[in-house]
Amino acid sequence: MANPKKLVLIGNGMAGVRAIEHLLKLAPDAYEITIIGAEPHPNYNRIMLSSVLAGGADMKDIIINDWDWYEENNIRLLTGHQAVQIDTKRRKVVSHLGAEAEYDALILATGSNPFMLPLPGADKEGVIAFRDIKDCETMQEASQKYKRAVVIGGGLLGLEAARGLLHLGMDVSVVHIHPYIMERQLDETASKMLQRELESQGMKFLLRKNTESIYGKKRVKGLRFTDGTEAEADLVVMAVGIRPNVELAKASGIEVNRGIVVNDFLETSAPGIYAVGECAEHRGIAYGLVAPLFEQGAVLAKRLAAVETEGYSGSVTSTKLKVSGVDVFSAGEYNEPPGTRALRYQDEVDGVYKKIVLQDDKLVGAVLFGDTADGSSLFSLIRKGESVKGREKELLLGFQPGGSGGAASLESRLEAMAADEIICGCNGVSKGAIADAIQSKGCASVGEIKACTKASASCGGCKNLVAGLVNLYAGDAAGEPAKEGICGCTPLGRDEIVAEIKRMELKSVKEVMNVLEWRTPEGCSKCRPSLNYYLGMLWPAEYKDEKESRFTNERYHANIQKDGTYSVVPRIYGGVTSPQELKKIAEVAEKFDVPMVKITGGQRIDLLGVKKDDLPKMWEELDMPSGYAYGKALRTVKTCVGSTFCRFGTQDSIGMGIRLEKEFERLNTPAKVKLAVSGCPRNCAEASIKDFGVVAIDGGWELHVGGNGGVHIRATDLLCVVKTEDEVVEWAGAFLQLYRENAQWNERTSIWIERVGLDYVKQALEKREDRLALYERIRAALDHTADPWKQIIGSKELRRNFESLAPAAVPN
């Protein structure tokens, strides 16, 4: 689409981003998308916060869409930005840090705020809510110094917080105003069974307690209750409910009640503005469960994509969760309202309780404790409203009385389910979708089903059902993960793929995917760039680089920053510049109002904060080659002054560095490559932590390989000693080509050398004829690689490339 509309999403949570996911499938080119998120994280699964608190998961484990996903879909993501103003007339959003985003359509997904009881002392240190990653970190830190914790609220969130604190070694009491816990999800019998289980884990309960005040000086010391009793505490966690976050909408003149009022198409009272998720109020109801929010997101995506939809008519809710290791499920009218009758089954030995509620021969509610396998089918019957007369006992027990029951009945129940029955309510995944993933895509484990369909990726309550379907459809292969190669799209590894490309002379990314039977026809952000590299490495003279398989930054010739601006780094050979070059850079920085000009660790000048629209013209006026600060290519060749000026220098390190940089500057490599040349063993250019380091000695040069100065620091290995500059270039080219031909995609030389061994590299380069053959191949690759200078300066092709970048194909 030539001129996509501008879409802004305020809120980087589960509901809003799910709507964006649907929209990208329905109309991938329709919108230029900006997402504004208050937290410094990509989209994560808030349901799994209790697992993070309890130590069962890390932050990386609960990320739903990582940073790469935003780049892959050309989404401008502003993390750590709080939207503070909506100008409905000029259609613009402003953040507290001054970032602006214009919109044609705006989605409010501001979620909800934890309700903090207005108690005397609630502002003391150590009194917090349990809502986000920051709260988890606060509780984890508190557990290192303090021992007594009190959680106010015996609902699901409070119990999960309490369980996490128990795991952290704290003494935990749960205060609840009601006579039994989780009264909104369970009846009294199930609640009491749950309480006994949690007490056996070490949790304490103070029921029918109404907190009067929180005491202590600066930090909390305890709570006083209205009945005159007290409870000591070093940490108080309030988990008493949530309230829709409507402040921004209200300040913007948008109609709000308890939540932001929306119609069946999730439209607010303001033109072009929509609301979805916990902040939205539809037909008087603000939902706090995941499944209804995802249903809203699907409707909104269709509306934005101009796809016909009947609209959102509300949700019949169910709760299927694992509370502190115990499976619970409830749906519909489970508390036996007038006019209903209930059937119950209770097994105190195995800890199983089941209740179904009937009205006019229809199933209207259910509670399951300990065994929730039938939850999905019961919920489906509640929603359909069909008669269940004569089947009541079967529904309650999960099998016909007198039958085999037990474990065998789960398979029969799953087999009897309709294909459209929802297995994973959190993510809306049906039995049919899971069956297709197993039968058509080779998924043979719960983990693979999770990766392919997202079933069991949220609360995990459906994991047993997913496992049952794997057993049902995968047969003997169940539980054996399908072989994964370079990514989940193929079982083939790097060497197998390269061998097949050579053998069958495959010449395009699409051809490789089709012939080698990729599981996903379009590939992914891992395999597409790697195939693009392998093809270019194998067929330098014939293969035409596929821009759509390049990282976004490589296509922009700039690094995107966290605020949506870009970083421009021109190449400065060997770190050596001139007054004329410096003057030109300064003039361009002034003209384009560059917020920051920084000297980098690679002896270059970085222009930070550049607007996307300024990039083509800026490169044109710089009239300098790109420094490839964004590419999987030769980045820099760092040098010291060497013998040119330094009294300790033994060789011309500047001249050697510039020669190496000009020799290999157009080289595409499996991962970024950095070189350095030091003029003496004092090693001022830090050659001993580079991919290829050159250190001058009396009468020659030491050549070092496999260094890394990044997160995983690795000192180089000494490869050899040579006498002449020509030999340095020859060995450097041979080494880099050996690495190019044998390393995996995105594998740094430091990791590659540890994998293959230094002896392998030495043996491969020992004979001069072998080195020259490798050097000739790298020269052939460079001869057919477009000069980055010509790619950028005054290039109409570059301008067309910038104009075609929405959406970009591949992330960084």
Question: Angle 206-211-217 (CA atoms, 0-180°, nearest 5)?
Answer: 110
Instruction: Please give the structure tokens belonging to residue 380.
Output: 């489906």
Cα distance between residue 398 and residue 468, in whole Å: 15
- Determine contact, residues 610/567, Cβ cutoff 8 Å: yes
Residue 284, sorted as left (phi over 0), alpha (psi -120 to 50) or beta, turns out to be left
Instruction: Please give the structure tokens belonging to residue 128.
Output: 């917090």
Give the CA-trace dihedral at 37, 40, 41, 43, to 10 degrees: -10
Question: If you write DSSP's letter for every residue of 573-631 in order, what string do you get?
Answer: GGG---HHHHHHHHHHHHHTT-SEEEE-TTS-EEEEEE-GGGHHHHHHHHT--B--TTS
- Angle of the 14-26 helix axis to the 290-304 helix axis, nearest 10: 40
Would strands 362-369 and 422-424 be described as parallel, antiparallel, or unpaired? unpaired
Cα distance between residue 746 and residue 670, in whole Å: 5
Residue 624, sorted as left (phi over 0), alpha (psi -120 to 50) or beta, turns out to be beta
Question: Angle 269-275-277 (CA atoms, 0-180°, nearest 5)?
Answer: 145
Residue partners of 719: CB distance under 8 A and separation at least 6: 703, 704, 705, 731, 735, 758, 761, 762, 765
Instruction: Tell me the Cα Rg of the chain.
Output: 31
Residue 796 buriedness (CB in 10 A; 0-12 / 13-18 / 19+)? exposed
Is residue 459 a known part of a binding site? Answer: no
- Determine contact, residues 320/466, Cβ cutoff 8 Å: no
- Determine contact, residues 414/465, Cβ cutoff 8 Å: yes
> Which of helix, strand or coil describes residue 483?
coil
Which among 622, 523, 506 has a CA at the least distance from the CA of 571? 622
Cα distance between residue 86 and residue 97, in whole Å: 14
Distance from chain centroid for Cα 36: 15
Residue 146 has what DSSP assignment?
-
- Determine contact, residues 299/266, Cβ cutoff 8 Å: yes
Instruction: Please give the structure tokens belonging to residue 670.
Output: 């499996």
Backbone angles phi, psi at 245, to 5 degrees: -85, 100
- Determine contact, residues 747/708, Cβ cutoff 8 Å: no
- Determine contact, residues 238/264, Cβ cutoff 8 Å: no
Cis, peptide link before residue 481, omega less than 30° from 0: no
Is residue 640 a known part of a binding site? Answer: yes
Is residue 646 a known part of a binding site? Answer: yes
- Determine contact, residues 728/701, Cβ cutoff 8 Å: yes
How distant, in Å, are the alpha carbons of 125, 138, 598 from that of 218? 6, 17, 43
Starting at the earlier edge strand, list the strands of the sheet with 700-705: 634-639, 673-678, 692-697, 700-705, 717-722
* Helix/strand/coil (H/E/C) assignment for every residue in 220-260: EEEEEECCCCEEECCEEEECCCEEECCHHHHHCCCCECCCE
Is residue 443 a known part of a binding site? Answer: no
Q: Which residues are annotated as a binding site for siroheme?
A: 684
Q: Which residues are annotated as a binding site?
A: 640, 646, 680, 684
Q: Which residues are annotated as a binding site for [4Fe-4S] cluster?
A: 640, 646, 680, 684
